[in-house]
Amino acid sequence: MTHDWDIRLAFEPGRLISGNAGVLLSRVVRVKPGEHHPWLIVDAAMNDLMRPALYDAYHHIDAVRPSGKRMTAHVVGPVCESGDTFATAREMDSAGEGDLIVFRTAGAYGGAMSSGYNSRPLTPEVLVDGDRWALVRQRLDVSAAAATPLPDWLR
């Protein structure tokens, strides 16, 4: 049965496409023993990926070079805020100090919501297409910002 409805349909794919198009790459800087599970402290922080801190958004976490082993861990950033938590008691690929991990589905709002909170520079952004890549947002040169002279009234 066909109908000749006089309507116009519009679709907004939103996070479904753009979320899956981006990841946040981070390095485990320290593994701290915990009472029940270890704490993986990574070099990314809540200012780089705000969604978990703001509304407990779930981002799958994988090791860049998985060993096939699994672990349950808390994954946190270095900002020392209670909101600087990416995952609590998360089963994930086993990862240790120095290992690279990837936060999946970070493409939607990841860069747009990022900030320089706690004097942390914005993460660089890299656009990848197959075997081609381009730096589309450079990391702020902190030494250049520190070289800015203070106003006379602060000296």
Per-residue pLDDT at 87: 97
Residue 127 resides in a domain: no
Taking only the tens of pLDDT, the chain with its 155 residues reads 778 889 998 887 777 777 888 999 999 999 999 999 999 999 999 999 999 999 999 999 999 999 999 999 999 999 989 999 999 999 999 999 999 999 999 988 888 899 888 888 888 999 999 999 999 988 877 676 667 777 888 76
Tell me which residues are annotated as active site: 80
Residue 120 resides in a domain: no
Per-residue pLDDT at 75: 98
Residue 71 resides in a domain: yes
Residue 11 resides in a domain: no
Per-residue pLDDT at 12: 76
Per-residue pLDDT at 80: 86
CATH number, domain of 92, equals 2.40.37.10
Cβ atoms within 10 A of the Cβ of 87, count? Answer: 19
Nearest CA to 105 out of 14, 19, 26 is that of 19
Query: Containing domain of residue 96, as a range?
Result: 18-115
Per-residue pLDDT at 146: 66
Read off the pTM: 0.82
Nearest CA to 20 out of 105, 128, 111 is that of 105
Residue 4 resides in a domain: no
Beta pairing class for 132-137 and 125-129: antiparallel
Place of tokens 């593994």: 31
Residue 133 resides in a domain: no
| Residue 122 amino acid letter | L
Per-residue pLDDT at 32: 97
Residue 150 resides in a domain: no
How many domains are contained in the chain? 1
| Residue 111 amino acid letter | G
Residue 48 resides in a domain: yes
